[in-house]
Structure 1
């Protein structure tokens, strides 16, 4: 850690001691977590709304956001904020319509939802799939990206990278073994550190811009200079490319395809992630409806702030590089001297004063460890409740299941360490954010269709659910990989554009929308052949979806803020 001074190390050690000490205090305060599965996996009835909201954000924000989204801010600008701001709207939908269905039907895991609504076959297939996805894609990529980011920040070597991998894993395990209550309440500290450290980085980024142009240390002047010097980076909606479009404009559209992105793609990404994902919904499934809703909406408020923390430093890095600064930092690791956008965040961090580097390191660590802990707990929950208890040891006691959950956590972390050690999966070569999107995005249309129809259409059948998952996956692969070469770059359904490699590509969000639409059609047609009301359909009444005045006020405020942001940056 040769780049860290005494002040940085002291701040980081204080952060670690506070999180570890508070986690131990929470664990000792309620020893019931040792033997009660609902408390261990769900913290049933003990998480407050602010702990639920903070835990949702802590689990969501990790190295791929800090590094990947900041890199996207450098490359394409504010349009990438759509992921965060539409997420806030998606969280409203989840709070009002999804969570009541889960809580009324006493759903604790997503495979349980599938078994109760469809059948054991669908549940088992998806439980196994989610375990593989969470361990080999999410957990491993979070650990790898986190270790790379921290190693770059402290100027480490390959040997130090391996030490960081071990340290992050141990830190996450210590928190996770205490159960969801420990995770939930320590996440409050993690999010606080994340926000403070993130805002400090943004402050430095804007003052660097201000100083570069002789405007003093003025963050407002720095932000206004970004607007003036990079106006193309402050548009939410990209126009459809034409014959005169540059390759950069085409690349932007491939990432966020203008208004078409808002027709289906970005909604599928967010609603599937926030509403049909054990890793996320688990935080709210142990609470009462009012507490769960407030916690989810609180997370939505924090999501509005995330672009300021993870995206603005990327735009600042773009302006600084464009005007002669950060030249070496932006090409670090490049074999041909080309700019690496994912270096944007670490390039800004290099200018932090002593002490703030330690704070930013703590913020980055908080994001990584919270995500690792949340993912490991979800892996443990699905394996223990949906596989071990149902198929391996049906007579297992509460205490036996809790210990099984803990062993599962250790096993999952060991596997992720093995695959991270020498980057066996090639995450570094593909790019972490791309790696995660690639393997989760192919299955999202089918999974989301299966959940949305299962919740709100009583006619949906189990056979249709299996067909939906398979159809969604196959069509995602077809549209993302084969369609341009099979059917040509221009059809009634899509327009493909040449990417940097000169290969025709359909924008990812459009691929998701097409796969989702055809999957819904297949499931509806198959279900029409079945009974008018599936015996396993959920009971739903309008009263489930009524919200309290306080909840309604939070929803209205969120929607007004988002509306103003889109009006300003359209």
Structure 2
């Protein structure tokens, strides 16, 4: 087996491209027959997306090359514990659907900066608008584009990096220019391809394991072999490293610090990502509450499946490599795990696997570009540049912004000006986004549910969140030492003491909340801009209860089995 593709692979991929492009064009032409030039329709597909389209679009936007390559790599290195990102994410989506989405929809919030302006003031909104635009363009968009091109180029033999990058950019522009409705409904196909291609890859990988160990082509036997040959890869909770623990284990713990990360860090990271992120919430903000809620819960169900697609192949690669059955994984580098597994696939299925990866990348690029366009057009251009802009102008500016954003992304990733490859894709994203998440989430959650939270507290919270993150990540160990009541620091691969990321995140969030509460207590008992909460809107219909309970039961079974 090799990386070389054959005619069947190209035909399968071409079929995927034709189906997505044709369906997207049909949706676009169908949309044009209605009154669809309005800006809200273009940016939000207001009232157009069904619950299943919302759920599929959320997942399509979330899963990209970072997950396929990064999570498979962490599956190779750590094991099933890395699935915490997906499974806590599923639980977080329940909270978003039940508690956060009603606040947005009741108050007619369409963008995250609009929330900050409505609840606090224009200063907070403008600061965060600019921050989000820079983050989305120079961190998220560039990393998706770079990692996506790198991943697919690797599967094509390694000689087409720039050609692949341009193809991904053009494909995503074509889809994004059609607006949120086109993105949402083509995402349904993208997710279908992603799931079918991903599950097919995992299925074939498990049968290869079974064959290599003399058990025939038996998927269940293959999975049982994984559990037998790599038992340390099938525990969700990593124990605190002993003094003489191997550095490899310490490195794993620094990424996933056992039970401690479940107390705070993982929840803050996930709730901020799923509930306070334009890139994700935008899919649901144009719908009515029940449709939005059902779509988000449907996304939660799909999240439970994702580790089977993006993590399990990494464990397969680990077991095969350890027994000399995967020479394609040169040097045993974890980031090559998924690509190495794809070399085991038969003709035709490689094309499907590449189509699945492409679907994930293009959907993420389209979703991110649309979010950039929405924030710039509605929260910057309309408010500060051309307050008299009509609907057609807003849509035109939105489309122009999409093109400009992707062109900038291509420019900065063409020769990896930002050193995404040097830092590592996941590390690159975390490096520039994690420092602000404690402040952002604290500002949103207190603004929603504590009427006393003030605008001054919001600004202080954003600043404090950044400062606290910087302190716990870079300074705390130097000041207080590696072992305190608040944290335990460990030597990382470079020999420098480091506090596990999710522990730092938890303390940064708590510090931010305390500062915001203290400042707010010095002000009026009720902020003039506080939201009036109608507790009826938090009540669930039976269908929502069934979906939420199903997610929780599935998660309970998983954690009981693999604790």
Q: TM-score, normalised on structure 2?
A: 0.99
Q: Which residue number in structure 2 is paired with residue 334 of structure 1?
A: none
Q: Which residue number in structure 1 is paired with residue 499 of structure 2?
A: 506
Cα contact 1:453–1:460 (8 A) shared by 2: yes
Aligned residues: CA RMSD: 1.0
Q: Which residue number in structure 1 is paired with residue 41 of structure 2?
A: 39
How far apart are 1:34 and its partner, in Å?
Answer: 5.6
Q: 2:463 aligns with which of 436, 456, 470?
A: 470
Q: Which residue number in structure 1 is paired with residue 324 of structure 2?
A: 324
Cα contact 2:202–2:309 (8 A) shared by 1: yes
SS in structure 2 opposite 1:217? coil
Find out whether 1:380 has 2:373 as its counterpart: yes
SS in structure 2 opposite 1:102? helix
Structure-1 separation of matches of 2:139 and 2:36: 29
Q: Which residue number in structure 2 is paired with residue 132 of structure 1?
A: 134
Structure-2 separation of matches of 1:59 and 1:122: 27
Cα contact 1:465–1:523 (8 A) shared by 2: yes
Q: 2:345 aligns with which of 329, 343, 352?
A: 352
Q: Which residue number in structure 2 is paired with residue 533 of structure 1?
A: 526
Structure-1 separation of matches of 2:8 and 2:233: 36
The residue correspondences of 1:55-66 to structure 2 (distance < 5 A) are 55-66=57-68
Aligned positions, number:
561
The residue correspondences of 1:103-182 to structure 2 (distance < 5 A) are 103-157=105-159, 160-182=160-182
The residue correspondences of 1:410-559 to structure 2 (distance < 5 A) are 410-559=403-552
How far apart are 1:483 and its partner, in Å?
Answer: 1.7
Per-residue CA distance 1:488-519 (angstroms, 9 max, x = gap): 11122111001111111100000100100000
Structure-2 separation of matches of 1:46 and 1:2: 41
Query: Which runs of 5 or more structure 2 residues have no equivalent in the other structure?
Result: none
Find out whether 1:203 has 2:203 as its counterpart: yes
Find out whether 1:189 has 2:182 as its counterpart: no
Structure-2 separation of matches of 1:60 and 1:210: 31
Cα contact 1:330–1:347 (8 A) shared by 2: yes
How far apart are 1:325 and its partner, in Å?
Answer: 1.8
How far apart are 1:362 and its partner, in Å?
Answer: 0.5
Query: Which runs of 5 or more structure 1 residues have no equivalent in the other structure?
Result: 332-337
Q: Which residue number in structure 1 is paired with residue 28 of structure 2?
A: 27
Structure-1 separation of matches of 2:370 and 2:507: 33
Per-residue CA distance 1:49-94 (angstroms, 9 max, x = gap): 0000000000000000000000000000000011101101000000
Q: 1:91 aligns with which of 70, 82, 93?
A: 93
How far apart are 1:463 and its partner, in Å?
Answer: 0.6
Cα contact 1:33–1:178 (8 A) shared by 2: no
Cα contact 2:3–2:155 (8 A) shared by 1: no
How far apart are 1:541 and its partner, in Å?
Answer: 1.8
Q: Which residue number in structure 1 is paired with residue 9 of structure 2?
A: 8
Structure-1 separation of matches of 2:214 and 2:102: 55
Q: TM-score, normalised on structure 1?
A: 0.97
- Relative distance call for 1:233 and 1:28 in structure 2 (3 A) is same
Cα contact 1:67–1:344 (8 A) shared by 2: yes
Cα contact 2:321–2:332 (8 A) shared by 1: no
Cα contact 1:33–1:179 (8 A) shared by 2: no
Find out whether 1:244 has 2:244 as its counterpart: yes
Structure-2 separation of matches of 1:339 and 1:102: 46
Q: Which residue number in structure 2 is paired with residue 51 of structure 1?
A: 53
Structure-1 separation of matches of 2:202 and 2:431: 29
How far apart are 1:430 and its partner, in Å?
Answer: 1.0
Structure-2 separation of matches of 1:2 and 1:554: 41
How far apart are 1:244 and its partner, in Å?
Answer: 3.3
How far apart are 1:478 and its partner, in Å?
Answer: 1.4
SS in structure 2 opposite 1:502? coil
Find out whether 1:284 has 2:284 as its counterpart: yes
Structure-1 separation of matches of 2:65 and 2:122: 36
- Relative distance call for 1:33 and 1:445 in structure 2 (3 A) is farther
